[in-house]
Amino acid sequence: MTTQDLGISIDTVWMLLAATLVFFMQPGFAFCEAGFTRSKNTTNILFKNFVDYMIGSVAFWFVGFGFMFGSDGQGFIGMPNFGDLSFYHNAAGLPTEGFLMFEIVFCATSATIVSGAMAERTKFSMYLVYSLFISLIIYPVEGHWTWGGGWLYNADPSSFMMSTFGASFHDFAGSAIVHSVGGVLAFLGAIALGPRLGKYDKNGKSRAIPGHSLTLGALGVFILWMGWFGFNPGSQLAASGEVNRVAISHVFLTTNLAAAVGGLATMFTCWIKYGKPSFSLTLNGILAGLVGITAGCDMVSPTGAIIIGAICGIVLVFAIEFIDKKLHVDDPVGASSVHGVCGILGTLLTGLFSVSEGLFYGHGAGFLGAQLFGILTIDLWTAACGFILFWGIKYIHGLRVDKRIEEEGLDIYEHGEACYN
């Protein structure tokens, strides 16, 4: 075995280990969502998280991978591969099937974010349609523009991004590409469904509908925090050599600091604003910090990571309140705020705090402009697709369960089995 072969083998093991950690985020999402909702819908919540991964695995392998990585990044969309992976050759020598697995778990993450926002009132059959659509079209197309080597990521001097902004869009592990996409779809899905029964009184005042288990929610957040160490450092896609081991270590640190400070910022903001530190909001604050740092975890300093985590943790409290009490959008787990608002915010803050290209480090506003343009493009695409998808389902077949089913719980009526007996 040559030194080069050994390096590729080490990189492959690291990539697959990271993919495993990201896969383990699925039970993290499942526990978090189940804990923040009522016990009568727990089977439905858990089932949807399994379905996201099952459908995403098959759909992304069959055509999504080709749509995302085909055509060498050229054009609006790649070419469908119909399960044939021979078209793709990794520049670093990583096995195509291993790289596909790494991409599948990211695709599934984007899909599963929406589950919590649409919880407790969505027809299971129609949720399957949504999950298939994001894995087939929404995620692969915007992924083609970015990680697939497409026009938003094109750093050639003559490219649109370089000639317009002097910089290309950057999203290291998915604040925009994964999380804001899931957050925007979560927001639109919650609007299309309407609020849960009893969420708002006749005057429009919001009523709290407590989840049934903060224990499950806390366990879910712990699992997600751990899984993020595959999500962000794993996106380096290599571990061999000094450059890669230093890069991975840096991303581990920035990711962890942003999560910790995001939680602290939310805790103290709640304490000041409401008179008591909220545990459930603090859990979401940890996730807000993680989402916010994901775009620039490789480019910002530890101090920058702390600032990004703090900003996301503070903004989260006000975003959740605004969406609930002002917009009257019922999002049971706060996915729109955590993934949507903080995904967008983290992408933009990278344009300020990037050590190599950021505005606050004396590199001008070009990179910030590229970040702003990129996130607008990705989320406008997502919003257009989400509108067509959710309102199409709503008016063609119906998106929401009947009133009686919602009142008595989806577990029995949708699946014939309760989680708790």
DSSP string, 33-88: HHHTS-GGGHHHHHHHHHHHHHHHHHHIIIIIHHHHHGGGG-SSS----TT--TT-
- Across the range 304-331, mean pLDDT stands at 98
The predicted structure's pLDDT at residue 167: 97
Q: Do 27 and 223 touch, CB atoms closer than 8 A? A: yes
Assigned domain for 300 exists:
yes
> Per residue, what are the HEC states of 6-18?
HHHHHHHHHHHHH
Look up residue 16 and give its two tokens: 């697959």
Where in the sequence is the domain holding 40, given as residue range(s)? 3-415
Give percent of the chain above pLDDT 90.
Answer: 97
Render pLDDT for 387-408 as a digit per residue (tens, 0 to 9).
999 999 999 999 999 999 999 9
C-alpha distances (whole Å) from 229 to each of 23, 192, 296, 351, 354 are 12, 34, 14, 23, 20
- Residue 420, both tokens: 């708790």
Tokens representing residue 421 in the block = 């007996």
User: How many Cβ atoms sit within 10 Å of the Cβ of residue 226?
Assistant: 14
Task: Enter the tokens of residue 286.
Answer: 């940890």
Is residue 372 predicted with pLDDT exceeding 90? Answer: yes
pLDDT of residue 91: 86
**If pLDDT is split at 50, 70 and 90, which confidence band does 421 have?**
confident
Beta partners for residue 200, in sequence order: 206
Name the band, by pLDDT with cuts 50, 70 and 90, for residue 1: confident
Identify whether the C-beta of residue 335 lies closer than 8 Å to the C-beta of residue 287: no
Instruction: Give the pLDDT of residue 74.
Output: 76
Whether residue 420 is contained in a domain is answered as no
Q: What is the pLDDT of residues 61-98, one digit of tens each?
A: 999 999 999 987 778 899 999 999 999 999 899 999 99
Asked if the model's pLDDT at residue 363 lies above 90, the reply is yes
State the DSSP code for 206. Answer: B
Q: Helices 181-193 & 342-353, crossing angle to 10 degrees?
A: 150
Q: What mean pLDDT do residues 243-271 have?
A: 98
Q: Each residue of 288-309: pLDDT tens digit?
A: 999 999 999 999 999 999 999 9
| 119 neighbors 333 (Cβ within 8 angstroms) | yes
Residue 72 confidence (pLDDT):
75
Mean pLDDT of the chain: 96
Residues 152/374, Cβ–Cβ less than 8 Å: yes
Instruction: Say if residue 260's pLDDT is above 90.
Output: yes
**Average of per-residue pLDDT across 209-228:** 98
Output phi, psi for 212, to 5 deg.
-95, -10
d(CA 86, CA 93): 14
Segment 144-171, tens digit of pLDDT: 999 999 999 999 999 999 999 999 999 9
Structure-token pair, residue 159: 């490219």
pLDDT by residue (tens digit) across 47-61? Answer: 999 999 999 999 999
Q: Specify the pLDDT at position 75.
A: 82
In three-state secondary structure terms, 419 is: coil
For residue 387, count other CB atoms closer than 10 A to its CB.
14
CB 344 within 8 A of CB 375: yes
- Burial 267-280, CB ≥16 within 10 A → b, else e: bbbbeeeeeeebeb
Kindly provide the residue ranges of all beta strands, DSSP E only, lying in 58-169, ordered along the sequence: none
CATH of the domain at 229: 1.10.3430.10
Count of domains in the chain? 1
Question: Which single residue is written with the structure tokens 């969502």?
Answer: 33
Among 372, 336, 405, CA closest to 114: 336
Q: Which amino acid is at 51?
A: V
